[in-house]
């Protein structure tokens, strides 16, 4: 019966929330089938390729106070740093040399990075390396700001919606933060022509299986080009320090359901997944993921961008990470490619 649901998901893509919920609750019986079908679909569209994105964590300053996040403004124990334009460009130089063709600039919401400064950095990366894509993940900004950064050459924007349930959103964030604005930002980014990434944490405090089923409906309705999901991992200096974290098995199963729901999606096996399970990234790829985001930030700052406890890969040079990840990807039956790895539109089939 669950197989029939998966087959209908592939053919008609019209599962109800109740049907997604049934799959989630009975995942032990169907996870292997779902993973097999998810990989088949991914391979048909993208081949057995895994795209790599060089992550540059440009600032651990953040004005916000998300209850789950280790770099929230009120965490007095967080060590703060910000990278200069020159430091960011030298990360990109190193990344290009290592074969990266996408750079992701991520950080807390830090007013230091004005539109002017970011535009200069984006323009310079594009001038030096015209065959690369620039992705931003800098939180909620104004429409004007998103427009200016797009004009400067940014191609993609990652902004996890965090949860599709407004009541749940209010349990994860202080009242100054708005569910509606987050959604509005995603709409604006899409309208400006960014390849847009939504996403959520798996097993975040107060999340139910019903919420997870609704996430899949939300993704089907909003059709993001990228989806970032990873387990929630508690951070010791946050209000959620004593909550349980999400599991790798649930995250991996959801990766398969997301691939089946959005066949063309660019879907990372995240560092958070690799943090809670030493084989997490391999399992993610074997469940239908096709992106990895190794860290290109200078090793001296990596431990300071501590969103959650025990984050992996904070001590290695980027070159070492590439070696390690190539092996992991091979073991998962795929290969890393040096490619911008754009979203494939239906038309270009
Ligand atoms: N400031 C930007 C934003 O809000 O989109 C980008 C940085 S933010 C730290 C990136 C993502 O990290 C968040 O969207 C959240 O889903 C994830 N994250 C934060 N704290 C986490 C935790 N404790 N466990 C797992 N993921 C976490
Ligand atoms: Fe960084 Fe393995 S991915 S050391």
Question: What tens digit of pLDDT does each residue of 258-284 get?
Answer: 999 999 999 999 999 999 999 999 999
181/216 Cα distance (integer angstroms): 20
228/201 Cα distance (integer angstroms): 8
SS3 219: helix
Q: Quick check: CB of 313 below 6 Å from ligand 2?
A: yes
Asked whether 117 and 83 are in contact (CB, 8 A), the reply is no
Q: Which helix (H) or strand (E) holds 73?
A: none
Q: Which helix (H) or strand (E) holds 294?
A: none
Sheet of strand 102-107: strand arrangement: 54-59, 102-107, 133-137, 156-158, 195-202, 226-231
Q: How far is CA 139 from CA 1, 106, 136, 182, 206, in A?
A: 41, 9, 9, 9, 23
Partners of residue 266 on adjacent β-strands: 226
126/329 Cα distance (integer angstroms): 28
Partners of residue 158 on adjacent β-strands: 197
DSSP string computed for 165-232: -HHHHHHHS-TTS-HHHHHHHHHHHHHTT-EEEEEEEET-TT--HHHHHHHHHHHHHH--SEEEEEE-
Please tell me the distance between residue 319's alpha carbon and the centre of ligand 2 in angstroms: 9
Please tell me the distance between residue 161's alpha carbon and the centre of ligand 2 in angstroms: 27
104/107 Cα distance (integer angstroms): 10
Please tell me the distance between residue 317's alpha carbon and the centre of ligand 1 in angstroms: 23
Ligand (nearest to CA of 59): 1
269's CB contacts (< 8 A; 6+ apart) are 255, 280, 281, 282, 283, 284, 285, 289, 291, 292
Please tell me the distance between residue 323's alpha carbon and the centre of ligand 1 in angstroms: 26
All residue ranges of the chain with pLDDT < 50 are 348-349
Q: Whose CA is nearest to atom 20 of ligand 1?
A: 69
Tokens 């990366």 belong to which residue?
125
Cα 208–chain centre separation: 21
Q: Which residues line ligand 1 (CB under 6 A)?
A: 68-69, 106, 108-109, 137-139, 159-160, 162, 201, 230, 232-233, 235, 272, 307-308
148/339 Cα distance (integer angstroms): 26
15/220 Cα distance (integer angstroms): 10
Structure token digits, residue 191: 């309208």
Please state at what angle helix 17-25 crosses helix 248-261, rounded to 10 degrees: 140
94/294 Cα distance (integer angstroms): 13
Tokens 């790798």 belong to which residue?
248
User: What number does the ligand 2 atom closest to the CA of 320 have?
Assistant: 4
Structure token digits, residue 3: 């197989």
Q: Whose CA is nearest to atom 1 of ligand 2?
A: 321
Q: Whose CA is nearest to atom 12 of ligand 1?
A: 307
Q: Which helix (H) or strand (E) holds 121?
A: helix 115-128
Please tell me the distance between residue 216's alpha carbon and the centre of ligand 2 in angstroms: 30
* The predicted structure's pLDDT at residue 347: 55
């Amino acid at each position: 019966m669950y197989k029939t649901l998966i087959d209908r998901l592939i053919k008609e893509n019209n599962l109800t929330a109740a049907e997604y919920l049934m799959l989630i609750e009975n995942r032990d019986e169907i996870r292997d089938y779902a993973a097999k079908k998810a990989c088949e679909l991914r391979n048909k569209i993208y081949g057995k390729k895994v795209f790599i994105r060089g992550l540059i964590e440009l600032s651990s300053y953040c004005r916000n106070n998300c209850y789950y996040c280790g770099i929230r403004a009120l965490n007095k124990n967080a060590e703060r740093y910000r990278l200069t334009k020159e430091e960011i460009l030298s990360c990109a130089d190193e990344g290009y040399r290592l074969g990266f063709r996408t750079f992701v600039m991520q950080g807390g919401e830090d007013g230091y990075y004005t539109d002017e400064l970011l535009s200069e950095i984006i323009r310079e990366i594009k001038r030096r390396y015209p065959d690369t894509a620039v992705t931003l993940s800098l939180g909620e900004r104004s429409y004007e700001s998103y427009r200016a950064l797009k004009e400067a050459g940014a191609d993609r924007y990652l902004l996890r919606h965090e949860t599709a349930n407004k009541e749940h959103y209010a349990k994860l964030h202080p009242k100054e933060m708005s569910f509606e604005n987050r959604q509005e930002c995603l709409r604006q980014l899409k309208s400006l022509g960014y390849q847009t990434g939504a996403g959520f944490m798996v097993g975040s405090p107060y999340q139910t299986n019903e919420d997870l089923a609704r996430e899949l409906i939300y993704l089907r309705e909003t059709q993001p080009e990228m989806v970032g999901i990873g387990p929630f991992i508690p951070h010791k200096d946050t209000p959620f320090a004593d909550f349980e974290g999400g599991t790798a098995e649930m995250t991996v199963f959801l990766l398969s359901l997301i691939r089946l729901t959005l066949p063309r999606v660019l879907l990372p096996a995240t560092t958070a997944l690799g943090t809670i399970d030493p084989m997490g990234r391999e399992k993610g790829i074997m469940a239908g993921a096709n992106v990895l985001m190794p860290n290109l930030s200078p090793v001296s700052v990596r431990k300071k961008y501590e969103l959650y406890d025990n984050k992996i890969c904070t001590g290695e040079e980027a070159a070492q990470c590439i070696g390690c990840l190539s092996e992991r990807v091979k073991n998962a039956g795929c290969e890393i490619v040096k490619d911008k790895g754009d979203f494939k539109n239906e038309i270009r089939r």
